[in-house]
Amino acid sequence: MSDAPQVLLDGLAYVESARWHDGRLWFAHWGAGGVVAVGLDGKSEVMAAGPPRLGWSIDWLPDGRLLTTGEQLLRQEPDGSMVRHADLTGVAEHGWNEIVVDGRGNIYLNGFGGGPGPMASGPTGSAWTPMARSGFRPPTPLLTPTATTPPRARSSGSARAAR
Amino acid sequence: VTDRFEHDRAIFAAALGGPDGRTLFLAAAEWRGTGQINEALAARTGQILTAPAPAPGAGYP
């Protein structure tokens, strides 16, 4: 067994969606409603608003703009405000939880609380394709370094893409 | 499994990062079940932990 991990930051509520980005570790601070970045020196900073609910995640478009999930897929604008990145109304009854963005800006999401399984879209989020058979529901979509285009649906599945 | 460690609370998420990608970051908190989520949030048991990793991260995220 390895030595015990070191505590970098504590006193937090629930912490999810850990991502190394721009020299710091960022995470979704569930129950506190913020996106937090912490440096290796332990200094932390709230970088964006997040939804008050549990069950949401973060990632970035290739141009550096932050995306957050939750009831809606939101994008942080340069002035710090959060705006809707794509209209996913009616696609997931309980909103969206996990998100991964690849190096070309393709976005991968899965639904919260029994909602749709993994879905993929180009950077604008204008058209969504189910990524896998109905019932396939990994906790976090993971992509290889060579991932460049959204995988094609392997079956029609039960998830329904936004048109 | 290449390695393991024990911790006194649940690990909710993990990421590889750091300047050379060889730091494992862990997001931990006490999980008290779905019936006590508000109590668990109020207890503020959440942590970010670090540990050395043998290889840098790859892929997304």
**Digit-coded pLDDT (tens) for B17-35:** 999 999 999 999 999 988 9
Averaged pLDDT, A30-45: 96
Q: How confident is the model at residue B15 (pLDDT cuts 50, 70, 90)?
A: very high
CA A102 vs CA A114, A142, A149, B15, B39: distances in Å? 24, 10, 8, 16, 36
Q: What is the mean pLDDT of chain A?
A: 83
pLDDT at residue A149 is higher than 80: no
Q: Which of A14, A56, A98, A144 to mutate to test the interface with B (most CBs of B within 10 A)?
A: A14
ipTM of the complex model: 0.94
User: Beta partners for A12?
Assistant: B46
pLDDT of amino acid A161: 37
For the beta carbon of residue B33, count every other beta carbon within 10 angstroms: 8
Coil, strand or helix at B41 = helix
Interface of B to A at Cβ within 8 Å reads 3-7, 12-19, 21, 23-29, 37, 40-41, 44-51, 57-61
Where in chain B does DSSP place strands (E)?
A: 10-17, 23-29, 46-52
Q: How confident is the model at residue A152 (pLDDT cuts 50, 70, 90)?
A: very low
User: What torsion, rounded to 10 degrees, do the Cα atoms A19, A17, B2, A1 define?
Assistant: 100
Q: Which of A7, A15, A106, A143 to mutate to test the interface with B (most CBs of B within 10 A)?
A: A15
- Ranking A30-44, A66-80, A82-96, B46-60 by mean pLDDT, the lowest is A82-96
What are the pLDDT digits (tens) for A83-94?
999 988 878 888
Residue found under tokens 């942080």: A76
Q: Would you call A16 and B12 a contact, using CB atoms and an 8 Å cutoff?
A: yes
Look at the pTM and tell me if it is higher than 0.95. no
Q: How confident is the model at residue A131 (pLDDT cuts 50, 70, 90)?
A: confident
* Out of B5, B14, B17, closest to residue A2 by CB: B5
What are the pLDDT digits (tens) for B39-55?
999 999 999 999 999 99
pLDDT of amino acid A1: 53
* Comparison of pLDDT for A31 and A118, the residue scoring more: A31
